[in-house]
Structure 1
Amino acid sequence: MSKSTLESLPNELLLIIFSYLSSFDLCQAFLYLNNARIQHLLTSIRHSFNFNLWHYDQLHLWLNSNQNHRNRFTNLIDTVVFNDSDASRTLLEYWEKTFNETDQSNVLFPSIKRLVMLQAERCSYILIQAILIPLVFANNTLQYLHLTFKEPASKYPRILSKLIVHRVSVHTMILEVEQGHSYRLNEIEDLHNMQPLSWSNTVQLTLSIQHSSELRLLFEHNALPAIEYLNITIENLDTNLPSNVNISALNVQLSKDSTRNGYWWYSSETFTLALYNSE
């Protein structure tokens, strides 16, 4: 009776086995096998670096492993998910260091297409200038940026303002405020107080704004010239669109989605504003 080995399994079964493993565990187990078929399967599927599945000790061991092995793994990564953890902050600092050492080249994750930052307010000190600016403007491969703000997000407008100032614009941008906004009266900041918006590469955008009057700024000339889909959450909602918003060139669908009321944030209503270019 002949023996069956892992290498003898058909591709379909191998892919099922692979689906139960994280990208890190998968690459640790199979990336260095001398088997061309398994190598081809590994490079044919999407890989992520997800800190919801990592521990600090595991990251520390990986950062101190053979650099060639690290590079073979990170070259496959197309999605990176950070969270509010020591491991996330350690890798963000390491990523910043690689940018500084390589004249702002993204050598750590050269194939990255999607970046997700959970509780982005916790990492705002390093996120924009250290990571996003060189990532977007130096050999850019990033197509999807998703920032979530879990706590009542007084830091949200600061990060939004930095994204606008530095014109950080990719195909899909999601700035998601999970529990509404919270400001002291003298700290309220909205798009009216920021530099003019100019996100030329953004096609799909999810955004939270303070007042309906800010919608006008989203439709200014060259603000969002490539936009096709816009999902807006309006805090302090005035249900009438501003009279000076010119949207005659677009088919606008506006539908009430939900209402939130809470102790730390203003009463608010969420609207989905789907924009489809008529051209």
Structure 2
Amino acid sequence: MIIGEHRDQVIKNIADHAQKGLFNEKVEIDDPQTSSEESMAIVNQFWQNQNHWRARFDNLIARTTMRGITDWFNLNTTFCGLKNLKSLKPTQGAVITSNHFNQLDNTVIRKLAQKNHRRLFIVIQETNLKMDGLIGFLMNHLDVLPLTKNVGYLGRTLPKKLEQQVQKGHWVLIYPEQEMWFNYRKPRPVKRGAYYYAAKANVPIISCFTEIIDQPKPEKNNDEFYQTKYRLHVLPLIWPDSKLSVNENAKMMMEKDYAQKKAAYEAAYQKKLSYDFEPHDIAGWRG
């Protein structure tokens, strides 16, 4: 399924950003923008709403709806490397990292969580809370942890919220590439945040890489693309080292995770990772 318009312009933005090494910048052209004050107000309102008597009911509806979407979106998704999760105790929380290439790619990780009987929380940008319709309802009532660029929030509030969930044995998905790059196959250089939060909470990283496989049929809603399916590679867990500080662990885990994703890409596509842009970088693109 192709979500969003102006895919040709977005692909051009991806090519330009890759050439300039701007791997963590926005490439979508219609993402909402907020001021720092508005951003903080949105997040504060979200947490205030969690105290409302209807929050638990709405959460149940949202999770049930998302489960149906997840099952439908992943009818052809396959999983490999599940044995790497065996060392994780049933009550052990974790931070999951994966490449970010589609508005619904989190359903691949949701499916993994379902298969392991885990509850999944997702760290999302606060602008997602402003969406309308069904997507807006889901964003505001699913298990999410919104973030904003406010330093105090990122340094104190968000780590506390995250630790509360992993201590309960839940998993938290954080996209270390930050921005979504539409159908982009390659793992991009990662940012430190996900690994800092994992190190601070003393939980492992479930390192994942989603391979995107072209199918022979064109997309029903956009004939410029072939349909695709996914193969999730669950890579070896990355555990914090008790001998290292939080910052040292964050650096170590970040470097290991990127190296694992790079190796997974090269094994899946049988080619060396290079950031020189080529049409193959965009899965399903007939251009």
The TM tier, using the shorter chain, reads under 0.3
Question: Which of structures 1 and 2 has the larger relative contact order (alpha carbons within 8 angstroms, sep 6+)?
Answer: 2
> TM-score, length-normalised on structure 1?
0.28
Determine which structure has more spread, i.e. the larger CA radius of gyration: 1
> TM-score, length-normalised on structure 2?
0.27
Q: Would you tell me which structure has more strand in proportion to its own residues?
A: 1
Q: Would you tell me which structure has more helix in proportion to its own residues?
A: 2
